[in-house]
Amino acid sequence: MNIILCANPSDIASYSLESSQSIKINKSLSTSSNRASDFASKDGIQVSSLDARKSVLSCQYVPKQLEETCIVGKPAVSKPKQKLEFIRTLLIDNYDSYTYNIYQELSVVNGLPPVVVRNDEWTWEEACYYIYEERAFDNIVISPGPGSPACPADIGICLKLLLECGDIPILGVCLGHQALGYVHGAEVVHASEPVHGRLSEIQHNGCSLFRDIPSGRNSGFKVVRYHSLVIDPKSLPKELIPLAWTCSTDISSLREQKSDHDAYDNQLDQETNHTSLSKEFKNGAPWPSNCADGMPDGTVLMGIMHATKPHYGLQFHPESIATCHGSQIFKNFREVTEDYLGRKDSCSNRGMKLQYNACMQVGNRSWQFNDNLRSNHLSILNTNHVNLYKMVNSSSLTNGVKFLSLQWRKLENLSCQVGGAKSIFVKLFGDEKAGNTFWLDSSSTEKRRARFSFMGGKGGALWKQITFRLSDPSEVTCESGGHISIEDAQGLSTTTFLEDGFFHFMDKELQSIRYDEKDYKGLPFEFYGGYIGYLGYGLKVECGALYNRHNAGTPDACFFFADNLIVIDHSNDDIYILSIHDQTTKNTTWLDDIEQKLTTLKSSTSKTSPSHSSIQSNKISVKPGFLSDKTREQYIEDVEKCQKFIKDGESYELCLTTQMRKKIGEVDPLGLYLHLRDKNPAPYAAWLNFSKENLTICCSSPERFLRLDRDGILEAKPIKGTIARGLTPEEDEMLRSQLQHSEKDQAENLMIVDLLRNDLGRVCEPGSVHVPRLMEVESYATVHTMVSTIRGKKRSNLSAIDCVRAAFPGGSMTGAPKLRSMELLDSLESCSRGIYSGCIGFFSYNQTFDLNIVIRTIVLHEGEASIGAGGAIVALSSPEEEYKEMVLKTRAPVNAVVEYEHKSLDQ
């Protein structure tokens, strides 16, 4: 994509009507009716690539000379500041992955969640209707985003808002900041270096946006930056005033930083170091400014404001977890809004006073600005994109509401007496190559990383297997349809086309289940039976991605409905056995039978366990090693392409991956998994076997994607930053410390933490998203990794599937911003990721769930072993080192396959 960085203001593409006929707006419908999904489409056109999307969007704008409109009326007589109960914000989302961090901040600060609208979701006429006729908003915030303000598809309606809405406070963040400069004639250029997930100290001039915030070197005001482009301060027109800039060219590490989001929330001792200046817009005169030429050499412009309009821009990210005083900035913007509204006697373009007890008649419906305003504001203008997933209708494949009952028993202190989880699984489910079995295997329980393991096989009358394959995009026009096959306990199969996709189907399945919470009272874990299996990476097309360039050879989702299961409590050495049934199925003897088998195992633990590596050597075809889909040179070239995208502002971080493959013949899959778990135990390990699909998954993942517990708490634990273990204790500790203090790895981790905060922010209660652990180093058999923990309280009106769709695929496997990054990665990667980069886990019948990230995993399918690996590419990446890190991540699963094959040959 060609980016024009220094176009003249006259070249800015303006929104204009293509005909003299105005667009009719249905005032009685929610504005979300303009888009039924997150997919980029306009006027019925489905776009299949990034550049195509941009060209389709751009062609709607007719270039013309823009005449700047200043809608600021005559200044009002000074009055006391108007303190409002809450502030109504329009939040423009530029397809970014940090927008909902701003949403969370504003929800708390404003006392009311903002309305989120994508930058191409409203026409200019619709925006005018809600801003001026409905008077629905007190201010506007423009989010960050990928790309450049010079590209209409990247910035959408934002330029028009900045030009025409001179009588409403606007705050632009990052891309929004650049748009404010660009639209008034400033030049947006490449920064001297891209800066993503890194911190700088800030100097500001004490305007209202920075009230009560310290300034300057060693003041404690450090901010997080995510940008490759900047406003050239020498190009600022007289209308724009510089507010803030970096203290120097130094960019610091995160380790010493304490943000106002820190768990300890330490109070800064430094006194505020800024001069008290006169109010902006006082008596209608331009606010006094410092000349841009007075900025120290080598510093970067971090904030601007318009001289006569209440418009502000910030190049840094106040919403980041590591930005200090970010919440105060949003509070100050609220006060700026209240101050500005209180100083205006009238708004000429709105045609009436901003009084909150007024009632405005529009058509046959009134807009009440009183006690009902809060609910009206949300119900009529709710465009939270998570809720859009529920707007499509689908024919149900369920048999209506099902009431499930749970029976369970606890067998105390029995696990070790029968040989532990491995022995239990092998002896109870290991026959016939462990076909149609599952094992969510907490094989690494050190430091309380995991506590429970869940296992089972083809069960009772409610057991079934669900297999879903996305449609080939060339065969159908819908974005996320596919074929689902359901095999029941009697072996009968049905196949149906799902127009609305797999997530919609799973949502309806889970919501059709009724249960009594008393059934599982006393159980210390969250899975009581239900769906257990995997979601493939290709399901990203049901979560906002435009397309899948490559089709997967394996199913895109595969699940068992487990009605009987065994749970092992590794902490207390207890075993739980559970069975569920409905009104149509009779109580079975399964609990009695399995208890008897476990008791029998107790007396036979001294006997040798069955071997799972004894296979005839003449059936083995051992190849020299794995072959990568990309050569070393090709992978390094792709890393360099990623860095070019990052330099141009298209992404902050790209998680580039590739696949390694090997023909393996008739290897015993369970024996291979047991070898892998011995060599590389992991807290979120898993075994899944789907015999009918000739598919086995041997997973040793150390990473949790997302969990929802019975109290409604969501938790994500992304990993970013990996280094090999040392050969000696001294070398091992040195490498661990090296990872802990690596600026590159900190930047990687911070970007994904902010991304996961955003994803949880879409579905969590305002103010509940927090980070109890930031960048802790965890050590495993072959690597040290950097792990963070993000938590939040789920909104009560959203389902488990809503939460997964809001965050899938895991941000640690995509990069940020997520949607743009996935498009770019699809253009670089030469094959489907398939199961790799997806997730494995359970959806309990009561809508709790726990899902991992599929990494460090061997996928056995139709005689081939495949292993995916990759890493996060950032501006600081070394292409050669990125290749080495990718190879390091394959070491454990690759060695497990090769070693097990040779072990099998020797027997």
Task: Give the span between the Cα atoms of 644 and 634, in whole angstroms.
Answer: 15
Rounded Cα distance, 53 and 40, in Å = 7
Query: Does 317 participate in catalysis according to the annotation?
Result: yes
- Determine the number of helices (DSSP H) and then strands (DSSP E) in the chain: 19, 40
CA–CA gap between residue 246 and residue 217 (Å, rounded)? 9
Question: Count of CB atoms within 10 A of residue 97's CB?
Answer: 32
CB 385 within 8 A of CB 38: yes
3-state DSSP call for residue 234? helix
Query: How far apart, in whole angstroms, are the C-alpha atoms of residue 734 and residue 637?
Result: 31
How many Å apart are CA 528 and CA 725, to the nearest integer? 37
Q: Which amino acid is at 231?
A: I
Give the count of beta carbons closer than 10 Å to the beta carbon of residue 392.
Answer: 14
The helix/strand/coil state of 326 is helix
d(CA 529, CA 539): 24
Instruction: Check if the beta carbon of residue 579 is closer than 8 Å to that of residue 407.
Output: yes
Q: What is the 3-state secondary structure (H, E, C) of 628-670?
A: ECCCHHHHHHHHHHHHHHHHCCCCCEEEEEEEEEEECCCCCHH
- Report H helices in 762-878: 800-807, 818-828
Closest by alpha carbon to 621, among 552, 554, 667?
667
Q: Which is the catalytic residue, given 187, 319, 487, 650? A: 319
Q: What distance in Å separates the CA atoms of residue 829 and residue 825, rounded to the nearest whole number?
A: 6
* The residue type at 708: L
Smallest CA-to-CA distance from 696 within 583, 824, 555, 590 is with 555
Closest by CA position to 787, among listed 700, 734, 722, 733: 722
Residue where the block lists tokens 């922010």: 761
Catalytic residue among 311, 317, 325, 581: 317
Q: Active site residue: 174, 558, 699, 764, which one?
A: 174
129: which DSSP letter?
I
Whole-angstrom Cα distance, residue 310 to residue 286?
A: 11
Return phi, psi of residue 204, to 5°: -135, 170
β-pairing, 653-663 vs 493-498, is unpaired
Name the residues annotated as catalytic.
174, 317, 319
